A and B are shown apart, each in its own frame.
Chain A
């Protein structure tokens, strides 16, 4: 095929591009993944029975804010990586800032605690299951964000895969936070982060294969 022929073919009957429709479809896809994750959380783990008390606790909102900021930062970074030639930008640093802020609170709590209770702050009662639960809840979100990315054009596939995995993990952790009985910042800063690291690693591993175009 001659290149001029191809250009004629592509430009003939070119339709206007509905950029807004593309964005809307993406948002809906990601939202659907989040809804499935929320339903899984309700069905498998259940809403925290003490939620009414938790809503009054600062620690609860620290946890929610931490996972919320990580999710937003990861989503923005992922979308940046999904457009050719776009700069990754500062969003990634919000995530780093959230992590530092959480551990500032966490370190304070550890220093103030009596030596006997430090282990409890770090390990809680559910450290064995927490990371895997978060990884499980991140699965539908990972599928959704991967589908959305395949409709875009990431050029750094491993980075885009890792960022989308991180997003799935962070949003999964956000959802899990409404069940999880743990509030201590050191616990969240360790086991939640580990839970997020699982889909991040999977994303980095599978990105070059799943996102190729």
Chain B
């Protein structure tokens, strides 16, 4: 992998991501999906160059994506989107390194616990979306399931669940924040 992509590659990447996120912020879901997909690729590359434990990379990519989503209102369209994106990635990376360093220090105490810890595959299964969702309260779980997974509208979800439309929106918002915290705690 080229450590430093040439300048024109950088500026075309910026132009493309900027166009995508501008559409996404106006509510274009398809543009948003493309943005998140491409952004996750760039973030993955960024993290690969900086993390030794490859097992952590995908979890951290997901944490960054959730952070990007939950904090997307802090993107100022007058500023480069790549510097915004990588500042978030860097913040989450530093946070992760700080946490794992702390874990290393307390490892001796956690030895008993660690012996009972499930292996890598089981952990991956633990992170399964459904299981994580189950840990959320109903008012967050149902809106996320209906709107975000099944693709119903907010109004339909409201009718189906009896939760008011504004509470559906709040539930999604808080639920995604809670999911972000839970993914972080799993690491």
Contact = CB atoms under 8 A, between A and B. Distances in A.
A84 B29 CA distance: 23
Interface in B158-175: 169, 172
Interface stretch (A2-10, A47-55, A58-66, A173-181): A2-10
Interface residues of B, number: 52
A1 B128 contact: yes
Contact of A84 (B33, B88, B151): B88
Interface stretch (B45-53, B63-71, B103-111): B63-71
* Chain A binding surface, main DSSP class: loop
B25 interface: yes
Interface stretch (A13-21, A91-99, A192-200): A13-21
* Chain B binding surface, main DSSP class: helix
A116 interface: no
A36 interface: no
Nearest to A152: B74
Interface in A77-117: 82-86
Interface in B41-89: 58, 61-62, 65-67, 69, 71-76, 79-80, 83-88
A17 B72 CA distance: 8
A133 interface: no
A9 B151 CA distance: 9
Contact of A152 (B26, B71, B90, B128): B71
B89 to A, nearest CB: 9
Nearest to A5: B129
A100 B116 CA distance: 62
- A-B pairs with the 3 shortest C-beta distances? A16-B27, A84-B87, A85-B87
Interface of A: 1, 3-19, 22, 82-86, 152-153, 155, 212-213
Given A1-B183, A82-B74, 10 more contacts: A1-B129, A6-B65, A13-B154, A13-B172, A84-B83, A85-B85, A86-B84, A152-B71, A212-B95, A213-B67
